[in-house]
Amino acid sequence: MQQRGTGQAQAPAAKEATAADQAPVADQGGSAAIDVAHLVKVYKTTRAVDDISFSIARGSITGLLGGNGAGKTTTIAMIMGLVLPTSGSVEVLGAKIPEQRYDVLGRMNFESPYVDMPMRLTVRQNLTIFGRLYAVKHLRERIDQLAADLDLKEFLDRSNGKLSAGQKTRVALAKALINEPDLLLLDEPTASLDPDTADWVRQHLETYRKTHNATILLASHNMLEVERLCDRVIIMKRGKIEDDDSPEGIMARYNRDTLEEVFLDVARGRVREETP
Amino acid sequence: MSEIVSHQPRGISLQRINAMVLRYWYLLISSWPRLLELIYWPALQIITWGFLQNYISQASGFFAKAGGTLIGAVILWDILFRGQLGFSISFLEEMWARNLGNLMMSPLKPIEFLLSLMIMSLIRLAIGVIPMTLLALFFFGFNFYAIGLPLIAFFCNLIFTSWSVGVFASGLVLRNGLGAESIVWTLMFAVMPLACIYYPVEVLPVWLQYVAWTLPPTYVFEGMRSLLIDHVFRADLMAWALVINAILFTASFAVFLALLQSAKRNGSLLAGGE
């Protein structure tokens, strides 16, 4: 299937991304939040990401879908500059990654099941440290505000290791929001959460995007989550982009009622033309 | 840029270094076994070696004359060894806590991270070694601080070596995951026989002496013996040690950055496990 990453679903703002080439450090404001071009990552003999291109408009929520080993986490890690691409380019908020990542790291944040908050430290201590790393002003007030927003008050002085999975996820989300990021990268943000907590987290993300005009890129296996949250879905399979459109557009094209059905079609190799 | 975030200088940020030192301080004070361990091993070392020194001083005229060389060597070795451990253990805490990804994704720069580990190694060292020197004074009448100004030269040279080894070992763990953790605990012991901690360099075979003189601690321990036995401060030895330390220190930073790049190519920063 042809890659459609830079095609129809690209927001108009993304077309201005090339302006950042001339102004490598200063953020142009109007450019795409993320601009990925011909990105490839090869680990020894495995092509984890295979020539993908897409742009993500500011203020949007985009879901990165795909089965295990599809290349979602590697793609997000390359956007963050934690993994170096074999070839291709990434620009985030107008800065070239990884060369200029320190110019924009203060405006980004992330949450991933591959990392933890230190277990022995209390929630307040952890948030204080990350707040200082991100140079957050009026940090005490900011932590109190996050504690109120994310319902952390009662265990703010409890060590992270003594929290339930749901509480830990809320703390990780508080860390991800401590600097009020313009760009939030989330890898499985509601994995291992009960439906109530997961719904609560989704609600919070939606509110955050609306109130801060933030851009969110999330990798998820949870199709309902993607359907509910995302303006746009990029489906990956074996390192390539299989499809890229709004959830409604994709479901219509596959003639399916849910993204889960579309996901199964893609995972099992049933191409659009063959679907009933 | 969000209004809640202060403008940050492009260079090294003291605020971020302070944040990391605070992180390790919180960790240290959260666990009394961790604090106790810092004092326990140095105390055990000094008491064991102190009594041995007392015993052989009675039996040997040389050791009676060279009072304190053994105890002095034990304390200086501990500065070297525990300085490196203090650095590396703080680094390992991030690996054990799976927190490295959070840090690497934050505005914290590698140089700031390493500087905070160095500060933490000094703090951990002070917690372990100061009680050790007091025990040496109390039990064996050896006043480590009576060495005076040369002690600053000894200390600086040893701590620079310990940081170089710490930076190098941490880079290896960063690149290879916790499977390489044993390097942190054992690397300094490879230096031990050649650094001539308890015996003069002349004891080694001639060809091995050349190798020994490439290590800054060898100069420090020779300098210490010269001071305690002959009452002569060998500034030349300290200067040589400083030159070699400068080379080692720069090289260890370069190797760390190269291993960090390699970890990014390899995708091991987020994995962090074995």
Question: How high is the mean pLDDT of chain A?
Answer: 85
Report pLDDT for B65: 62
Tens digit of each residue's pLDDT (9 = 90 or more) over A29-87: 557 999 999 999 999 888 999 999 999 999 999 999 988 888 998 999 999 999 999 99
Q: Is A74 on the interface with B (CB under 8 A)?
A: yes
A81 inside 8 A of chain B by CB: yes
* pLDDT, position A84: 95
Which of the four pLDDT bands, split at 50, 70 and 90, describes residue A256? confident
Backbone CA torsion sign across B93, B96, B100, B103: negative
In the predicted structure, residue A8 carries a pLDDT above the cut 50: no
State mean pLDDT over B181-190. Answer: 91
Whether B93 and A118 lie within 8 Å, measured CB to CB: yes
Residue B157 pLDDT > 90: yes
In this prediction, residue A257 has a pLDDT band, given cuts at 50, 70 and 90, of confident
d(CA A187, CA B67): 63
Judged against a pLDDT cut of 70, whether residue B9 lies above it is answered with no
Nearest-by-Cβ selection for B107 from A106, A110, A182: A106
Residue A28 has pLDDT above 80, yes or no: no
Grade residue B10 by pLDDT with cuts at 50, 70 and 90: confident
SS (H, E, C) chain B: CCCCECCCCCCCCHHHHHHHHHHHHHHHHCCHHHHHHHHHHHHHHHHHHHHHHHHHHHHCHHHHHCCCHHHHHHHHHHHHHHHHHHHHHHHHHHHHCCCHHHHHHCCCCHHHHHHHHHHHHHHHHHHHHHHHHHHHHHHHCCCHHHHCCHHHHHHHHHHHHHHHHHHHHHHHHHHHCHHHHHHHHHHHHHHCCCCCCCCCHHHCCHHHHHHHCCCHHHHHHHHHHHHHHHCCCCHHHHHHHHHHHHHHHHHHHHHHHHHHHHHHHHCHHHHCCC
Using alpha carbons, list the distances in angstroms from residue A54 to A7, A91, A222, A233, A259: 8, 11, 22, 11, 20
> Residue A210: is its pLDDT beyond 50?
yes
Q: What is the reported pLDDT for A144?
A: 95
**A66 vs A157 pLDDT, higher one:** A157
pLDDT of the residue at B133: 94
| pLDDT the model gives residue A22 | 36
Mean pLDDT in residue range B49-73: 78
A-chain residues near B93 (CB < 8 A): 118
- Residue B8 has a pLDDT of 67
Q: What is the mean pLDDT of chain B?
A: 91
Q: Is pLDDT above 90 for B57?
A: no
pLDDT for A156 beyond 80: yes
Residue A160 near chain B (CB below 8 Å): no
Residue-wise pLDDT for A86-135, tens only, equals 999 999 999 999 999 999 999 999 998 888 899 999 999 999 999 999 99
Contacting A residues, span 165-194, partner chain B, CB-CB under 8 Å = 175, 179-182
Q: Which of A112, A130, A212 is closest, CB to CB, to B106?
A: A130
Asked if pLDDT for residue A20 goes beyond 80, the answer is no
Complex-level ipTM: 0.88
For residue A45, what pLDDT is reported? 86
Contact of A82 with chain B, judged by CB distance below 8 Å, is answered with: yes
Q: Cβ–Cβ of B8/A106 closer than 8 Å?
A: yes
pLDDT band at A11 (very low <50, low <70, confident <90, very high): very low
* pLDDT tens profile A228-248: 899 999 999 999 999 999 999
What percentage of residues in chain B have a pLDDT greater than 90? 74
Percent of chain B with pLDDT over 70: 94
Asked if A132 is an interface residue toward chain B (Cβ–Cβ < 8 A), one would say yes
